[in-house]
A and B are shown apart, each in its own frame.
Chain A
Amino acid sequence: MLPSRFDYVAAHSIEEALAAKAQGDEDTRFLAGGQSLLPMMKLRLAVPSKLIDINRIDGLGGVERRNGHLRIGAAARHADVAASDAAFGAVAAAAPWISDPLVRNLGTLCGSVAHCDPEGDWNSVLLATGADVVARGPGGERSIPIAEFVQDMFANSLASDEMVTEVRVPVPSGRSGGSYVKLERKIGDYATVAVAGHLELGDDGRIAAAGLALTSVAPINLKVAEAEALLVGNQPGPELFAEAAELAAAAADPRDDVRGTARWKRQVVRTFTGRALAAAADQALKG
């Protein structure tokens, strides 16, 4: 790896990290797992002037339930999420599908979320589960709904002086289930197509809340609101899911590329949406 020259700061507290960011220029970047940043630096596609390493900050890690939500700290690795008993539903289903074991051991969920790569898995999961991203800046902490956090391809809504400190996924009080169905060409590859599903059932067995989001088939991770609206208030079942799958296929905006034709990707969205919702319903009913 032969990156361009850069400065390096190891922060020992969030305050120290934020101060370093404030002092740096616009090419100053935080370094957590580095699993997207370092390969880009290696190719000199990313040329940061300074890296602020946040790995030595106490308390930034952790995957735990707290105040009705699942908290995933900024330094928590994908592998921590995969190994956690606190993770549930779509989060638990997606974790083992993140890249490969080497990336999972170093890469962080929060880093992936902040990166806003539409081929990344986590933002679909967070969109389906209605999660919030917690950011800290000089003015304090704020909680940003994931749908507002994801602005565009590789663009989030953080201010230049803010850093992500954790992600909060609400834990449903009733019966719920989640899933992540992913097609990848090989382990470690980005998704060709992936679908995150999340269902909450009411006491009457009808769907009380639904989340559905798609990976790699649009310029951003795509929340399929039309399908979610269709699902809510209905009994889960194959015909309903097939209808939702059609809406998802229609909402997807895939491209022809080396992974396959757009037409086929739409078909995979259709198929996988059906499977993702069936798996989520199955989990909710068993749970």
Chain B
Amino acid sequence: MTAHTTTPPEIGGIGHSLKRVEDARLIEGQGNFLDDISLPGMLYMALVRSPVAHARINGIDIEAAMAVDGVLAVVTGELMAAHNLAWMPTLSGDTQAVLATDKVRYQGQEVAAVIATDPYIAADGAELVDVDYDVLPAVVTPQQSLDPDTVVIRDEKEGQTDNLAYEWECGDDAATAEAFARADRVVSIQTHYPRSHPAPLETCGIVADVNPVTGQATIYMTSQAPHAHRTLFAMVAGLPEQNIRIISPDIGGGFGNKVPIYPGYVVATAASLVIGKPVKWVETRTGNLISTGFGRDYHMSGELALTDEGRILGLRVDVLSDQGAFYSDAQPSRYRAGLFHVVTGSYDFPAAHITCRGAFTNKAPGGVAYRCSFRITEASYLIERLVQTAAYELGIDPADLRFRNFIQPEQFPYETPTGFVYDSGDYPTALRKALDAVGYEQLREEQAEARAQGRLIGIGIAHFTEAVGAGPAHTYDIAGLKMIDSAELRVHPTGKAILKLGVKTQGQGHETTFAQIVAEQLGIPAYDIKVEHGDTDHTPYGLGTYASRSTPVGGAATAVVARKLADKARHIAAHLLEAAVEDIEMAAGKLHVKGSPDQAVTIQDVALAAYTNLPEGMEYGLEDVTYYNPPNLTFPYGSYIVVVEVDPDTGVWKVERMVALDDCGVRINPMIVEGQIHGGLTEGFAMSSMQWITFDEDGNCIGSNFMDYLVPTAWETPRFELLETVVPSPHHPIGAKGVGESATVGSPAAYVNAVVDALAHLGVRNIDMPVLPDRVWEAIDSAAS
């Protein structure tokens, strides 16, 4: 793909597929991850976790653990309670146990921590902590949880007499009822989007280093949001914020898993504070999978009201979400179900009504946005599964039904019935281009021929619209902190620069992409710009990287601050060239007098002048900082088409084609964008085909290691064919939208739609994810009988 560029490759502005500057150190094993950090005198912490899902704690015997040579302390909930730290607030206004005092409420819950002189001894000690449990019945489904006869899981919570975590509704109930009343047809679907886990390759961890003399707390932490975490640490632990420095080093994947504050962080910090030595805690793989932020677990019922001609009139959705033991969704505080209300998707219709209830269960808490902007994945999946179902029920081709209902290009900005204002898009062009690429009409003929021979071929479409880049301060905050973000840019006298960000990369390529934004604006070569992020003492404030917000918010801040410096550069150039500032033009690192390209200085000349030769009255230096409050979210979209063949004898299905068209507005580094899409398509394939966290009836987690929780490799991952259209965001300074999560959000419905499409003629309408071969075969078998 050839991208539009305005800078030469040696400057490497927007549109250049520069190689990622971070890759050299990461590929050569020279990264500096949390577990690489070692401080003098450092102690090690191991957690004792509950082996059962629900139990009262009668007592904890630490004697044997304390007797191990090298064990210095065993921390229990009782001890934490003495420091008022046995419980902590969650990001959704609930409280969560740091170390259990009264009950354990899920398998894997943190019960005690052992501090020792080496990690092996800490693990030995943890084995010897003897907890006396009085096992209670485990509540493992939200339906069971909301039964009035079920035991109350959160009996410690004042006023809580049932297992309801929250209730929320959105949209217009009356208008939706009216739409359904005049519908020719109502099509419905019930589906469970199963619990999944972000499963970053690097688990969570911390090195807490509290200096007992100065009170300075230097906290190395696997954090996607170091600034927000600093403030929350200050609020929760009562530490003065100026004494807290959070350093988020190289991160081996986050995907939403490293947004929350976990009990291990709090205990390790408290231990360092009390003992006066650095304390390291690195989570085990099992600890990560069974206790930290999961994604999804939404039981969804959706109904579409339609005319016989296939016009959608209204949408009604009811959600029952399985929250686990604590309501700790990481989401904007105004919303109880994230941005799920984007469920109206890419379609133009007047009425929608959504009701959501969350239930406490004896499962790990979380509800993080696993590579998704706050519950958008669930929403996108539901509407695309519903539209596909409607197509079968109405006898209209699934692509055609989408064309009949798309929001049209001239309708943007488009206000949805649930209150989003979509910024830009051209959905019909996108879907048409994807259909042409896959050869849709011919495939439908081949499908019919194959069916006649007993072969099962399916074609699945998903056309998703995301709402990413939270967000405008008037609407979006987390724990009261407005979701703005920042960039600070300093150009040094030799023309090299450092860019400091409030956002934090976890592998997305910020160190390259954000330098390219500056290169575009100032003409300084991207490789001459160092990008710093993750150290709260050295970067301006921001809410962090998740929900595809880095480019929409932090990227906008970067463009704006670079433009501020470009403006100053013009003034300096005017001084150097003895011309009027209005006559200075700037392109690709050269500033020249309008009409006289030879009368020019370079940005490097200007940078030196900023510290040596300024016009009278101008302040020295070439640096500035910008805090960016976005006017709106950005709304990337895409058309994905999957072709599968199903083995009728075993239910095994194989992806034959996967065509993915993405429109994320202007692409800053097309190669990095494609890499993000490849990753997201792989995760979408994983969730749709093999990946889930499930539980047995006692609440034991099935999926506690990579033997049971499956992450696909290159071997089983399909080949992807990528396409693009570019409709810029009208409100973003460089027209970009977020893209890191698009493919995770959009692709699951395409894969599932394809398998269901292969069986649609048998009357099959739904198979829940993961679409395991036994589920497919059972669907075929029951359709046949």
Contacts and interface: CB of A to CB of B under 8 A. Distances in A.
Contact of B120 (A2, A260, A261): A2
A22 B362 CA distance: 48
B774 A258 contact: no
Interface string B656-683: 0000000000000000000000000000
A154 interface: no
A272 B651 CA distance: 13
Interface stretch (A164-172, A181-189, A196-204, A226-234): A181-189
Q: Which of A183, A186, A190, A259 is the most central at the interface, judged by chain B CB atoms within 10 Å of its CB?
A: A186
A286 interface: no
A44 B710 contact: no
Contacts of A267: 649-650, 777
B234 interface: no
B651 A186 contact: no
Contacts of B651: 264
A43 interface: yes
B710 A189 contact: yes
A264 B123 contact: no
Nearest to A271: B649
B650 A5 contact: no
A183 B650 contact: yes
A261 B774 CA distance: 6
A260 B694 CA distance: 13
A271 B712 CA distance: 25
Contacts of A188: 713
B60 interface: no
A4 interface: yes
Nearest to B648: A271
Interface in B735-785: 772-774, 777-778
B690 A185 contact: yes
A44 B777 CA distance: 38
A141 interface: no
A189 B707 contact: yes
B694 A258 contact: yes
A67 B710 CA distance: 44
Contact of B650 (A2, A263, A271): A271
B102 interface: no
B778 A264 contact: yes
A186 B284 CA distance: 23
A188 B716 CA distance: 11
Nearest to B686: A186
Interface string A82-125: 00000000000000000010000000000000000000000000
Contacts of A43: 286, 705
Contacts of B712: 186
A186 B650 contact: no
Contacts of A264: 651, 773-774, 777-778
B397 interface: no
A259 B770 CA distance: 11
B778 A261 contact: yes
Contacts of A2: 46, 119-120, 123, 284
Contacts of A260: 772-774
B481 interface: no
B124 interface: yes
A268 interface: yes
Interface in B687-726: 690, 694, 702, 705, 707-708, 710-713, 715-716
A264 B707 CA distance: 21
A156 B196 CA distance: 38
A260 B771 CA distance: 11
A187 B716 contact: yes
Contacts of A185: 690, 710, 772
A183 B713 contact: no
A4 B127 CA distance: 10
Contact of B124 (A4, A187, A189): A4
A43 B772 CA distance: 28
A104 to B, nearest CB: 13
A269 B714 CA distance: 27
Tell me whether chain B's interface is mostly helix, strand or loop, or mixed. loop
A183 B716 contact: no
Interface string A237-260: 000000000000000000000111
A263 B773 CA distance: 12
B652 interface: yes
Counting contact residues on chain A (CB < 8 A from B), the size range is 20 to 34
A241 to B, nearest CB: 14
Contacts of A258: 694, 702, 708
A183 B124 contact: no
A61 to B, nearest CB: 27
Interface in B259-290: 284, 286
Nearest to A260: B774
A44 B711 CA distance: 23
A260 B651 CA distance: 11
B417 to A, nearest CB: 39
Nearest to B709: A258
Nearest to A47: B127
A264 B773 CA distance: 9
A44 B120 CA distance: 12
A83 B707 CA distance: 26
Nearest to B711: A186
Contacts of A44: 123, 127
Given A260-B772, A267-B777, A186 B710 contact: yes
A183 B647 CA distance: 12
Nearest to A190: B707
A41 to B, nearest CB: 12
Contact of A187 (B702, B715, B772, B777): B715
Nearest to B651: A264
Contacts of B711: 186
Given A2-B120, A260-B772, A260-B773, A183 B652 contact: yes
A1 B777 CA distance: 39
Contacts of B774: 259-261, 264-265
Given A258-B702, A260-B773, A100 B690 contact: no
Contacts of B650: 183, 267-268, 271-272
B528 to A, nearest CB: 40
Nearest to B124: A4
A264 B775 CA distance: 9
A258 B692 CA distance: 10
Interface string A1-20: 01011000000000000000
A139 B400 CA distance: 78
A5 B713 CA distance: 33
A264 B690 CA distance: 16
Contacts of B127: 4, 44
A271 B781 CA distance: 14
A134 B700 CA distance: 41
Nearest to B284: A2
A43 B123 CA distance: 11
Which of B46, B127, B652, B773 has most A Cβ within 10 Å? B773
Contacts of A263: 778
A268 B648 CA distance: 11
A265 B777 CA distance: 10
Contacts of B46: 2
Nearest to B282: A2
Nearest to A267: B777
Interface in B32-86: 46
Smallest CB-CB A-B distances: 6 pairs:
A260-B774, A264-B774, A2-B123, A187-B715, A271-B649, A261-B774
Given A185-B690, A188-B713, A259-B772, 9 more contacts: A4-B127, A44-B123, A100-B713, A186-B690, A186-B716, A187-B713, A189-B710, A267-B777, A268-B650
Interface of B: 46, 119-120, 123-124, 127, 284, 286, 649-652, 690, 694, 702, 705, 707-708, 710-713, 715-716, 772-774, 777-778
Interface of A: 2, 4-5, 43-44, 100, 183, 185-190, 258-261, 263-265, 267-268, 271-272
10 contacts: A43-B286, A186-B690, A186-B710, A186-B716, A187-B716, A260-B774, A267-B649, A267-B777, A268-B650, A271-B650
